Structure 1
Amino acid sequence: MKMVVAVDEALPERIEDAVRDEQARERAWLVEQRRDRGIDGMKAGQRRAAIAQLYADRAARREAQEVLATRSALVSAHLSRLLEAAGWGSRAYPPVPGGQDTMPGRRWGTSGYGHHRGGPGRLTIVLPQPLGERVRRVSYWVSQRATVNLQRYADESAGGFPPLDLLREMGDLAVDLYLLPLEQLAAAVRRRTRAEPGPIVSTGDLVRAAAYRATRYTPAPDQRAASPT
């Protein structure tokens, strides 16, 4: 599942630096394995089979996330850890109702002025299909109560736009996702989801938080003024 998320401008290069470090670690492992297995001293047929096995072992290491040698692998690994730490990794969520997450425009509650929602940079990754589907379901169902509250507010208020403080409160959990230590996330999720008006967490929030954690990057607080966009 391909995703493009807004991030701080400096983050994509930080991600690439982390990936290059992982690739260098993998290259060093390959050199070591060739030496330890005596591959270079083998005859042609035997050497070909040994190299094939070596690269199969490399693929297994990547599959097991022992090495994160691509941008997508790096972010996906941290995203899986984030979901597990928050208590969302194994919980069963129903599918997202048809059309709810594919409608055009910004989803309810994700005003860029409510709290930090990215930046001018863009990060493109491809999530494994099961992980991407879990991200979609978590985002929809965790945010459902707050979304209903926002829609009710819009129906009942003259202006139709909720106050900035309310949007910030709804966005606090999205900030917790990249700021809090992993061991504190489950408690924060329980606290935010039980409180009124409830949290709004988008798919972009989840992927962005994982990307920040992959590099230990902390974005600056959002200081923009209120806006109804």
Structure 2
Amino acid sequence: MTQAAYLWTPPAIQSLPVRGKAERLPVNRIFFVGRNYHAHAVEMGKPVDKSVERPFYFTKAPQTLVESGATVAYPPETANYHFEMELVVAIGKPAFRVSQEDAHQVIYGYAAGLDMTRRDLQLVARDKGRPWDLGKDVEQSSVCSEIVPMPGVIIDQGEIALAVNGQTKQQSDVNKLIWNVREIIADLSLFYHLQPGDLIYTGTPEGVGAVVAGDRIEGHVAGVAGIALNVGPAE
């Protein structure tokens, strides 16, 4: 078979380190669950009634992925750059229309993640009924720790917390997710053929806030991993 020729070098495959392994996890797609902690939904002015609502999602390009410990430039066209601490699920097997009871079978592992957000642009888009892309699909905004292999394990409790410059800003528990890991995987797999390497950021608790150049963000999900990010000056 003739090897394809390209006009320029294709983008590199995005990947993350895996605890205890030399091989890296190739990242396919990155999904995010919006407003999945009650207190955060309230602080955003959009309370959630699980009895009449389903989860909703947005995506970011894999090219937005950044490993924990990096320094990223304060992004352009925003004056309100926010942190959101999240538990991340790494999918390890194909999944389409998987049941909640079988959802654990497609999990490869977990990570700690940050969904960095141009909040001012997101809220303008939200209030005008426009897509969130400029607020959410931000370069270097999908921050992730190493992947911790936990095949078949469902995490349904554990502290999730974040500090900026040593001061705690977010502190909650994964057991407060509105839609838990089983429910998220089952619902998302109704819309997509989930594939190995898909990441699902499961939502953030209350306490989100702005950072500025020079700030250091540190967070953790108990029993999974820690995460860190340094905010550099704007370009």
Calculate the TM-score normalised by the size of structure 2. 0.24
Larger radius of gyration: 1
Calculate the TM-score normalised by the size of structure 1. 0.25
| Higher percent of residues as helix | 1
